[in-house]
Amino acid sequence: MKKDRQLVILLAALLVLIFLSSCAAGKNASMTPAATDFAYAEDDSYTRDAPAEEPQAEAPMANEYKAEIGGAMGEMSFDDTAQAEEAPVGDPESEGDAADFTEKIIYSANVSIETTDFDASVSGLEQKIRSLGGFVENSNVSGDTRWNKDGTTSVVNRWAYYTFRIPAKKFEYFLQLTHTYGNVLSTSRSAQNVTSSYTDFEARLSSLNTQEERLLDMLSKSTDVETLIALEQRLSDVRYEIEAIERNLRNYDAQIRYSTIDLSIREVELYTPTVPIRRSFGEKLEIALSDGWTQFMRGTQNLLLGLAACLPALILLLVLAAAVIICIRIRVKKRKAKKAAAEAAAKEQES
């Protein structure tokens, strides 16, 4: 009997472990997060409306942007009250000695948006950027993959991250339009004043150009071989420096002409309130009851769905348990019958 009890305990523990593992597997299979990152130029749904190539006026800018920036870049922040004082690049000052001087400022911004219509918001943003003469520099769209009961899948809780490049003159205009594509949660702006570095590069470039002219003049007049070799080596070094500075200046010009906007957009069912709402006690009580009932219904639904997911495994476990119990009972009956027969035989021998 002791061995039978141990066998029953081991079988029960095994059945419980199988049941828990099957329930856990069913729950995990119902929602599997899958990141679907893709580049903007590789996704058919986003390249369908976009032109095959960027306008020719923008292509050099995009190539120039890849060059590394040399020199220090002074950073400064600004708010909406200073916009009138910080004119976009290309707008000269209108007073005094600054009439011929233009500040070299690189504008950038970060925007966070939530939307209830993800597809429309994403499509509208991309179309607006193109209509303003900008382009999408980077794009990343993702979401969670949900497995439906019919075997199909659907993407939920989507989000997208963009890096837009837009002409500096349209920078503030676009930021003012972002609220039309969803609920704007946050907006931050920054400006880098690179005027000092830019003028240093220009001065250095002018000096190197003068050196190049002198070296070419000396090279044309020199007849000594060693002198020619030395002049050619120096000329090569000067031209290398000129190319590096010109590349940095082109990179500055590209960033100055086209501002950078990092924008993230997230799909939600309800917008997050951006303004504090004052409610009376009755309204708070009503909301609390409503939230409590909603949570209760969600909990009940989740419980029923969990039981439904575990039902096939539960039925199988019940069948196995019934078979085990029947086998144990048959074995017990056989032992009892054998024991009774042995006792009867013993009594007959005694008599």
Q: What is the pLDDT of residue 186?
A: 92
What stretches in the chain show pLDDT beneath 70?
Answer: 1-101, 274-277, 351
User: Cβ(108)–Cβ(226) under 8 Å?
Assistant: no
The closest alpha carbon to 174, from 266, 118, 109, belongs to 109
User: Cβ(234)–Cβ(212) under 8 Å?
Assistant: no
**Among the residues of the chain, which ranges form H helices?**
2-30, 44-47, 59-64, 118-131, 171-177, 195-221, 225-257, 281-350
Q: What is the pLDDT of residue 275?
A: 65
Q: What is the pLDDT of residue 190?
A: 95
Q: What is the pLDDT of residue 86?
A: 40
195 C-beta neighbours (distance < 10 Å), count: 15
User: Cβ(169)–Cβ(146) under 8 Å?
Assistant: no
Dihedral sign (CA 339, 340, 343, 344): negative
The closest alpha carbon to 161, from 36, 56, 343, 16, belongs to 36
Please tell me whether residue 175 adopts helix, strand or coil conformation. Answer: helix
Q: From CA 287, how far away is CA 4, in angstroms rounded?
A: 57
Q: What is the pLDDT of residue 333?
A: 86
In this structure, what are the phi and psi dihedrals at residue 346, rounded to the nearest 5 degrees? -65, -40
User: Cβ(261)–Cβ(113) under 8 Å?
Assistant: no
Q: What is the pLDDT of residue 40?
A: 37
Q: What is the pLDDT of residue 83?
A: 38
Q: What is the pLDDT of residue 74?
A: 37
User: Cβ(183)–Cβ(271) under 8 Å?
Assistant: yes
Q: From CA 148, how far away is CA 222, in angstroms rounded?
A: 83
